[in-house]
Amino acid sequence: MDRRRFLAATGAGVAGSTGLAGCLASASAGPPAVPDDRLDANGWELVDRVRTEAFDFAIAGQGVTATSTTEVYENATLREEIVEKTLGQVRDAPLLFFAGRVTIDPDLTSLPGEIGQERMIDEVEAIARTIMVNQMGTNGVEGIERVGTGTLRVGADEPARRTDLRGTVPVGPISIPIADGEAVELDADALPIAGRLAVWGAEGSVLVGGGAFPAENLAVETEAALSTAISVSVGVDLGLKPEEYEERVLTLVRGIE
């Protein structure tokens, strides 16, 4: 992954979603903890860590500021496998995970009642969703939409707000060489990509977790005639496992502290 692309996406997402400026020097956000064994077991690689402004406003006359730290991980193994299987013709099929912490000043426990905490989580959720959409976009995902909301159980069975996203990665014809310099083109549909986002309050801060992954397998096949008497079947099957990828992402999200 291009680290500069991530920085650009993150900066644009924060500015675009809040429209707020201000010095947040009084707030300090550290990255959340994610179990290293879960990351190592499935080949996740940390590709960036970014600290950004989040928002600055008032609740019941009390000024509130916040900063966020986000870590982004990519499963480079899957991307490399897809590039190899398609002879370098499909490069965007992201398997991403990110974990963020938004630190509030003053912390959530000192805000006025549940209204203050709910308002804060509303703001963080909007910012996190915009950042995630931008990050998916930098990885080739188009037409991203929110397709569902709900609850995800995290940590010690705590409820988190869940948002489901959906988009597609365009896949043009895949050209497969067969004989005598000739090639067969396989018409492949766009590859659906799913996104999962969770936001929840925890010990004076707001935690954010999510990821994006292929939502369906990509398999296409056609017949090619080598002569009037000989024909061969040519196909591509990426062997993608959407349910497995989703479980990997959600397992990591549930482990954020």
| C-alpha distances in Å from residue 171, one per residue of 89, 92, 129, 175, 224 | 9, 9, 25, 12, 21
Residue count (the chain): 257
| pLDDT values of the chain reduced to their tens digit, one per residue, 257 residues | 343 343 334 443 433 333 323 333 333 467 888 888 888 877 899 988 877 765 676 766 777 777 888 888 998 888 888 888 887 777 777 889 999 998 877 765 566 666 667 777 888 888 889 888 988 998 889 999 999 999 999 987 889 999 999 999 988 787 777 777 777 777 777 889 999 999 998 877 889 999 999 999 888 877 777 766 777 777 778 888 999 999 999 999 999 98
Are 234 and 176 a contacting pair, CB within 8 Å?
Answer: yes
- Radius of gyration of the chain from Cα atoms? 21
User: How many CB atoms sit inside 10 A of residue 222's CB?
Assistant: 14
| pTM over 0.95, yes/no | no
Domain boundaries, the chain: 3-142+149-162+195-212+243-254
